[in-house]
């Protein structure tokens, strides 16, 4: 005779249980003994597949076991259905008995929805529960608050907070912890801290929730101060607190202090902490320490590899990130979308079209191309590598597009100076999806770069009128930039004065930049005064004002600004240009003599400058603002990093190939003019990516039409 399987034995036991129950009086049938109840619950929990549970459930019903009258068994069945992945069956069973005002049953169903990331349904169930006058308790609120936090639904969260106060559960430590976490996820750190300070009892989870809120919202100093307060109160941190604090650290001394706390409290520096330590030291500029942590992990998991790649990407060490990515592939580490996002970030910084195509190919072969976030990142990658053609191909092939996808492609057209194409795509987007505040930054920036004033005004006016999007400071900055570029400086100033919110540094900075383009000294002084009060340590603002003074012949004022920078310890960002040749990146600075081909580069540069002079190029000495002789100024212009990189590209790339360079600052005006002539005399297309946009030079013209 065949030995019964585990499920068959379970089925037989259940039949025996129900047979014994049916022989009892009716009153006992509805109230099984403790032994019978335990056996029944055990039978339910032993079901390891959905099929076995459904079979057992059917068996109970066929055996005349009145499930609908015993919530104890119903609740366990619902939980087991959910644990086996069938939320539909769980909810169907719950719906059949939801008229019972059993709080435990409702809590179980709410928790099931939250645990399975169906946050909207959990909030709907909570609302329905209150409509039925079923009063929530300290087990209900944490799950509902978690749903609010994950959805970022601050309005609902505030209502739940009021219900907590009305119910008298505000002193419960678990409810308080959930409130702190919810407000933190919704970005309301101020209320978060109020709840934290008002809690009569705190545990380590309370502190981890509060440090997490600070870390999530970029309040790094506050997070570190809270950590010190925690230590001073003698509370031993757990690994979650340490992970949160590591995300707040930006200075090397702080990083060392955190590591000492880990060791001093006997916490194991497990793999998750080592991964976090990599990113922490990378943010502090200590890539050697970050790499030491990485190399010290004997059995590296995917998170370890991805964390180190991300650390390199954040430190702008793109080649090192890509080299590590190559090692991952050689070691046959299974990749995921998060790894690819870090690799894409590195490629975007490098602006290498060749590397972008290689990474995209790996994504396609790994069958990741249909993941929305990854496909959108690839679109952005191609945009930043100077290829709108490839970007648009990926965009058009996306089966699903969200507001970020549309905004990314619109922004790409704007960065490349194709304002009309951006507007056309914006119109297409509006027919299928509602634009958000990011979309409007993209389209307003596109209008600004293309000089589309009327269209920009219409887009700005439609924000609140047609889409209910309230303009933010970044939208006002785009409008000031658009008006300023067009020479409408007084109109830009009046626009700022009419703003319903206080102008920030971005708004005044846009006006200051426009004053540089149009050499408006008086207005520049006003804008500079405002921006210095708001952003005193940004070197770019001082350099712009100094250059405006110098180009207007006000050497004394220019020198005064430079002296002010020196007194304040503010250093000008050194301009550099990067070019990639045969998978290797070369970085040039003005007057660079560190490259192996230096003599050849300068020899060819002299010949090239002579050729474009004969074509009509005249050096713009306004971009050599040093107090030196005219001849020396011209020589200084010749050795700007852009020109050196272009000549290096001409020497080392194939005939007819596109030369791609990346400048970390705004491209020099004289270099912009020179590059147009270089593209004409050499017959080469040259693509320049600077800090703000792309310039495509071909046959003596630029895609920006000299409007930048």
* Interatomic CA distance for residues 308 and 316, integer angstroms: 12
State the Cα–Cα distance between residues 334 and 329, nearest whole angstrom: 8
Higher pLDDT among residues 7 and 554, named by residue: 554
Q: Can you give the pLDDT at residue 15? A: 42
Q: Is the pLDDT of residue 50 over 80?
A: no
Contact indicator for 656, 642 with CB cutoff of 8 Å: no
pLDDT in tens, 245-274: 999 998 888 999 998 898 888 777 788 888
Distance CA 485, CA 48 (A): 68
Of 579, 574, 586, the C-alpha closest to 661 is 579
Query: d(Cα 29, Cα 23) in Å, to the nearest integer?
Result: 9
Provide, for the chain, the percentages of residues in helix, strand and coil under a 3-state DSSP scheme, each rounded to the nearest 5: 70, 5, 30
Strands 659-663 and 686-689: parallel
Task: Give 71: exposed, middle or buried? Use CB within 10 Å, 0-12, 13-18, 19+.
Answer: middle
CA distances from 423 to 137, 445, 447, 458 (A): 53, 11, 8, 11
Confidence band for 351, pLDDT divided at 50, 70 and 90: confident
> Which has the higher per-residue pLDDT, 391 or 629?
391
Question: Please, what sign has the CA dihedral across residues 428, 430, 436, 441?
Answer: positive
Q: What pLDDT is attached to residue 706?
A: 81
Position 296 confidence tier, pLDDT thresholds 50, 70, 90:
confident
Does residue 502 or residue 44 have the better pLDDT?
502
Q: Say what percent of the chain tops pLDDT 70.
A: 91
pTM: 0.75
pLDDT at 196 over 70: yes
pLDDT score of 462 more than 70: yes
- Reply yes or no on whether the pLDDT at 558 is more than 90: no
* pLDDT exceeds 70 at position 91: yes
pLDDT at 70: 67
Q: Which residues are CB-neighbours of 445 under 8 A, at least 6 positions away?
A: 411, 414, 415, 478, 481
* Mean pLDDT on 534-563: 86
pLDDT of residue 16: 37
Residue 649 pLDDT more than 50? yes
pLDDT for res 555: 84
pLDDT tens digits, residue range 488-536?
999 999 999 999 999 999 999 999 999 988 889 999 999 999 998 888 8
Q: How confident is the model at residue 29 (pLDDT cuts 50, 70, 90)?
A: very low
- Between these two residues, 636 and 552, which has the higher pLDDT value? 552
**3-class SS of residue 654:** coil
| Predicted pLDDT at 21 | 39
**Chain-wide mean pLDDT for the chain?**
86
Cα of first residue to Cα of last residue in the chain, in angstroms, is: 88
Half-sphere exposure of 387 (CA within 13 A, CB side): 22
Average the pLDDT over each of 113-117, 557-561, 582-586, 611-615 and give the range with the smallest value: 582-586
pLDDT given for residue 297 in this prediction:
86
Kindly report the three-state secondary structure assignment for every residue of 362-408: HHHHCCCCCCHHHHHHHHHHHHHCCCHHHHHHHHHHCCCCCHHHHHH
Across the range 380-397, mean pLDDT stands at: 94
pLDDT digits (tens, 9 = 90+) for 606-637: 999 999 999 998 887 665 544 444 444 456 67
Query: 1-5, 161-165, 537-541: which has the highest mean pLDDT?
Result: 161-165
| Cβ–Cβ under 8 Å, residues 512 and 545 | yes
Helix axes 437-450, 419-430, angle to 10 degrees: 150
Looking at residue 39, what is its pLDDT? 65
User: Would you say residue 23 has pLDDT above 50?
Assistant: no
How far, in Å, are 51, 326, 599, 603, 653 from residue 592 at the CA level? 73, 31, 11, 14, 20
* Cβ atoms of 493 and 511 closer than 8 Å: yes
**What distance in Å separates the CA atoms of residue 183 and residue 584, rounded to the nearest whole number?**
47
Ranking 36-50, 142-156, 460-474, 477-491 by mean pLDDT, the lowest is 36-50
pLDDT digits (tens, 9 = 90+) for 426-449: 999 999 999 999 999 999 999 999
- Tell me the average pLDDT across 544-553: 84
Determine the Cα–Cα distance for residues 691 and 708; give it in Å rounded to an integer.
12
Residue 626 DSSP label: S
Alpha carbon 512 to its chain centroid, in Å, reads: 29
Statement: residue 185 has pLDDT above 50? yes
pLDDT, position 22: 39
pLDDT-derived band at 65, boundaries 50, 70, 90: low
What's the mean pLDDT in 119-128? 94
Predicted confidence at residue 622, as pLDDT, reads 62
pLDDT digits (tens, 9 = 90+) for 207-218: 999 999 999 998
Question: Measured on CA atoms in the order 605, 606, 610, 613, is the torsion positive or negative?
Answer: positive
Contact yes or no for 242/270 (Cβ under 8 A)? no
- Give residue 488's pLDDT: 94
> What is the spatial distance between Cα 203 and Cα 208, in angstroms, rounded to a whole number?
9
Give the pLDDT confidence score for residue 9 in this predicted structure: 44
Distance CA 231, CA 225 (A): 10
CB hemisphere CA count around 579 (13 angstroms): 24
DSSP symbol at 206 = H
d(CA 111, CA 131): 19
Query: What gap in Å lies between CA 640 and CA 652, rounded to an integer?
Result: 19
Write down the pLDDT at residue 38.
61
Per DSSP, which regions of 490-590 are E strands? 577-581, 584-588
In sequence order, the β-bridge partners of residue 587 are 578
pLDDT at 8: 45
Report CA torsion sign: 465, 468, 470, 471: negative
Residue 587 carries which DSSP code? E
Q: Who has greater pLDDT, 570 or 496?
A: 496
- Is the separation of the CB atoms in 603 and 638 below 8 Å? no
Of the candidates 465, 527, 450, the residue with the CA atom closest to the CA atom of residue 495: 527
């Amino acid at each position: 005779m065949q030995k019964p399987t585990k499920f068959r034995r379970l089925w037989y036991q259940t039949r025996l249980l129900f047979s014994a129950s049916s022989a009892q009086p009716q009153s006992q049938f509805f109230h099984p003994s403790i032994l019978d109840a335990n056996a029944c619950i055990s039978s339910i929990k032993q079901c390891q597949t959905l099929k076995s549970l459904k079979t057992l459930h059917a068996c109970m019903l066929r055996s005349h076991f009145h499930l609908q009258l015993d919530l104890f068994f119903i609740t366990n069945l619902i939980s087991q259905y959910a644990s086996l992945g069938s939320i539909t069956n769980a909810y169907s069973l719950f719906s059949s008995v939801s008229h019972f005002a059993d709080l435990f049953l409702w809590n179980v169903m709410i928790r099931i929805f939250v645990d399975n990331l169906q946050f909207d349904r959990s909030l709907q169930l909570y609302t329905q529960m209150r409509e039925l006058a079923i009063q929530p308790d300290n087990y209900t609120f944490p799950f509902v608050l978690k749903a609010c936090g994950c959805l970022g639904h601050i309005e609902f969260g505030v209502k739940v907070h009021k219900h907590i106060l009305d119910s008298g559960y505000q002193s419960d430590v678990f409810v308080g912890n959930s409130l702190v976490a919810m407000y933190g996820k919704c970005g309301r750190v101020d209320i978060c801290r109020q709840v934290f300070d008002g809690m009569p009892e705190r545990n380590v989870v309370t502190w981890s929730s509060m440090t997490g809120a600070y870390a999530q919202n970029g309040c790094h100093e506050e997070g570190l101060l809270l950590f010190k307060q925690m230590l001073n109160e003698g509370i031993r941190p757990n690994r979650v607190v340490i992970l949160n604090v590591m995300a707040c650290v930006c200075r090397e001394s702080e990083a060392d202090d955190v590591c000492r706390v880990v060791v001093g409290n006997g916490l194991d520096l497990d793999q998750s902490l080592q991964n976090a330590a990599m990113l922490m030291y990378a943010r502090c500029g200590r890539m050697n320490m970050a790499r030491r942590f990485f190399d010290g992990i004997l059995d590296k998991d995917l998170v370890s590899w991805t964390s180190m790649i991300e650390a390199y990407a954040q430190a702008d060490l793109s080649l090192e990130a890509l080299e590590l990515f190559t090692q991952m592939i050689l070691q046959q580490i299974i990749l995921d979308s998060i790894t690819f996002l870090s690799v894409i970030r590195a490629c975007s910084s490098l602006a290498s079209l060749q590397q972008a195509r290689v990474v995209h190919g790996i994504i396609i072969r790994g069958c990741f191309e249909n993941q929305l976030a990854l496909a959108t990142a690839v679109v952005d990658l191609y945009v930043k590598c100077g290829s709108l053609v490839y970007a648009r191909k990926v965009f058009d092939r996306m089966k699903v597009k969200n507001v970020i996808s549309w905004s990314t492609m619109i922004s790409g057209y704007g960065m490349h100076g194709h304002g009309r194409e951006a507007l056309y795509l914006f119109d297409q987007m509006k027919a299928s999806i509602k634009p958000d505040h990011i979309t409007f930054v993209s389209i307003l920036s596109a209008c600004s770069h293309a000089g589309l004033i009327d269209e920009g005004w219409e887009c700005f006016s439609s924000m609140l009128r047609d889409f209910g999007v309230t303009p933010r400071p970044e939208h006002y900055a785009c409008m000031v930039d658009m008006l300023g570029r067009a020479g409408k400086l007084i109109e830009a100033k009046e626009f700022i004065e009419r703003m319903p919110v206080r102008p920030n540094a971005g708004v005044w900075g846009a006006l200051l930049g426009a004053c540089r383009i149009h050499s408006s000294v008086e207005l520049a002084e006003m804008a500079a005064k405002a921006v210095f009060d708001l952003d005193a340590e940004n070197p770019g603002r001082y350099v712009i004002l100094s250059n405006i003074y110098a180009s207007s012949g006000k050497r004394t004022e220019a020198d005064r600004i430079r002296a002010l920078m020196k007194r304040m310890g503010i250093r000008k960002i050194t301009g550099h240009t990067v070019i990639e040749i045969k998978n290797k990146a070369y970085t040039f600075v003005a007057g660079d003599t560190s490259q192996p081909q230096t003599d050849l580069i300068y020899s060819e540069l002299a010949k090239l400058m002579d050729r474009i002079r004969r074509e009509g190029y005249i050096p713009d000495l306004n971009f050599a603002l040093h107090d030196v002789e005219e001849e020396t100024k011209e020589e200084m212009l010749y050795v700007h990093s852009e020109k050196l990189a272009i000549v290096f590209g001409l020497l080392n790339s194939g005939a007819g190939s596109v030369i791609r360079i990346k400048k970390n600052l705004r491209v020099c005006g004289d270099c912009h003019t020179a590059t147009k002539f270089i593209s004409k005399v050499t017959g080469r297309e040259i693509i320049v990516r600077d800090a703000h946009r792309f310039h495509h030079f071909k046959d003596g013209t630029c895609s920006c039409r000299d409007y930048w």
